[in-house]
Structure 1
Amino acid sequence: MLAGISVIFPSSLPFTVFHISPPSPCVSPLVCPQLVVDFDFTLTRVHMGGQRCHCSWGIMDNSPDMPEYYREEANRLLAKYYPIEVDPKMTEEEKIPYMVEWYQQIHDLLVKCSIRQASIEGMVSASSARLRDGSEELCQKLHRAGVPVLVLSAGMGDVLEQVLRHFKVYTDNVKVVSNFFNYNEQGIMVGFKGNLIHMFNKNEDAIHSSDYFEKLQNRTNVILMGDSLGDIKMALGVPQPSSVLKIGFLNDKIDERLPAFMDNFDIVLLDDQTMDVANSIVDLLK
């Protein structure tokens, strides 16, 4: 199943910890794990057929429903701030002020666009956003087993929720934490709900006050998947974690970023557009 995939195991993997006896409140056949996953370019593909796929931001950037001034300014901000996000020589603490600056400017720009809530479904349908191969299979397995799936994203929640609906994987075991639009009575986007979520502050602390968090009290084994070093913190807030298996999707600037990924993830997948590794691990846990 894994033929053709470049897999690196930087450290000894804690497979054995997943075979502990589950606590009595847990009835899942998957030994009480939970899945914590980033959305853009982790759950979704980076490229397909030689063309780059849209992330949740790209869905809006490339939609004809968005004004041209939005695209021009969004691209200018991307060119300025994305190199900072992936710069392996900068510390997270050095990057955070720039990320907050970037997101606040994009959020202000989006408010000016008067986005209609009813237009989001069409934007997603017309986009090139695609789930990684095997994502539907993985989600079906986790849904059947009642395994909670937490999608943590610094993108736009309204857009990525529609992507999940479009591919029929937004089931009742899935919780999305992201930046959600606030709409007026006419269905026009006028701002954002809650606190700003960027790539370096998204973690399970964001759901401690929700009903969803109660479902996780006995699920202290975590499979975490992300495509940036900021994603390794997504499991922060898990109460007394027994083990966290971290899977990193290294999508670009591979030679430059590989050492840092190997230092922080248990498994590093190089330009892999599938969920084959995750599916194989879940199969082992049955």
Structure 2
Amino acid sequence: MLRSLVRGPAASLFPAAAMASYYATSHGNATTRNESSVGFVRQPARAIIANPDAFAAKLGRMAADGPSQLLVIADFDYTLTPYHTPTGEHAHSCHGIISGSGFLGHEFQAKANALFQQFYPIEISPLLTQDEKEPHMVQWWERSHKIMVDYGLHAHHIKDAVANADITFRDGFQPLFASLAKANVPTLIFSAGLA
């Protein structure tokens, strides 16, 4: 039943967006890219649902309510953007784009990298709960932003870093957001990286 409910270009993006796309549109086929020209194989999109019956009931209610009752809230880093590049490397986050740009100098890059080395293992640790991770993530965010200010980050640095970045959106992003816009579904991109 779930497979028949989650359709359209957003099905390959992420489950919440797939639901949103279902309500905003009522046709189309899920698409996923299985391999790239460089040989990196991407696994088909999937979602693990703890209670499929409850999920299907919620999805059905959302479908019945229609797009006028829908609000989409999405994270940016590694939700709207892929976790890996087409070559299989770890993709940049918003902070990573600034840190790796070189526009704030080598000393800034070294400090930003030291923070990444300290805090990223905590962020991805399967041994810590979200509550245990949260104070460390707040500290990482605060310290990262402090060094950006200390090293003179200005709007033109951000513009230049983004213009030179290799960041991409996930497959299905453009048709999903076009569908949401066409259906006048309010959409909020919420991210600590964009704060």
Instruction: Judging by fraction of residues, say which structure has more helix.
Output: 2
- Aligned residue among 51, 57, 60 for 1:16: 60
Q: Distance in 2 between matches of 1:79 and 1:64?
A: 18
- Aligned residue among 137, 146, 158 for 1:120: 158
Q: Distance in 2 between matches of 1:112 and 1:133?
A: 37
How far apart are 1:78 and its partner, in Å?
1.0
Say whether residues 1:106 and 2:144 are aligned partners: yes
Unaligned runs of 5+ in 2: 1-29, 35-43
The residue identity in structure 2 corresponding to 1:7 is: R
Does the 8 Å CA contact 2:104/2:151 hold for their aligned counterparts?
Answer: yes
Alignment-derived partner of residue 96 in structure 2: 58
Unaligned runs of 5+ in 1: 23-28, 158-178, 180-286
How far apart are 1:119 and its partner, in Å?
2.8
Distance 1:119 1:102, change over 3 A: closer
Residue 62 of structure 1 aligns to a residue whose secondary structure is helix
Say whether residues 1:47 and 2:91 are aligned partners: no
How far apart are 1:82 and its partner, in Å?
1.2
Question: What is the TM-score with the length of structure 2 in the denominator?
Answer: 0.69
**Residue-pair matches, total:** 150
Structure 1 stretches of 4+ moved >6 Å = none
Residue 190 of structure 2 aligns to a residue whose secondary structure is strand
Q: Distance in 2 between matches of 1:119 and 1:83?
A: 28
Does the 8 Å CA contact 2:68/2:184 hold for their aligned counterparts?
Answer: no
Instruction: Judging by fraction of residues, say which structure has more strand.
Output: 1
Q: Distance in 1 between matches of 2:47 and 2:155?
A: 42
Alignment-derived partner of residue 7 in structure 1: 46
Distance 1:116 1:73, change over 3 A: same
Question: What is the TM-score with the length of structure 1 in the denominator?
Answer: 0.49
Residue 89 of structure 1 aligns to a residue whose secondary structure is coil
Share of identical aligned residues, percent?
A: 28
Cα deviations across residues 103-149 of structure 1 (Å, max 9, x unaligned)?
22112111111122123222101001111122111111111111011
How far apart are 1:2 and its partner, in Å?
4.2
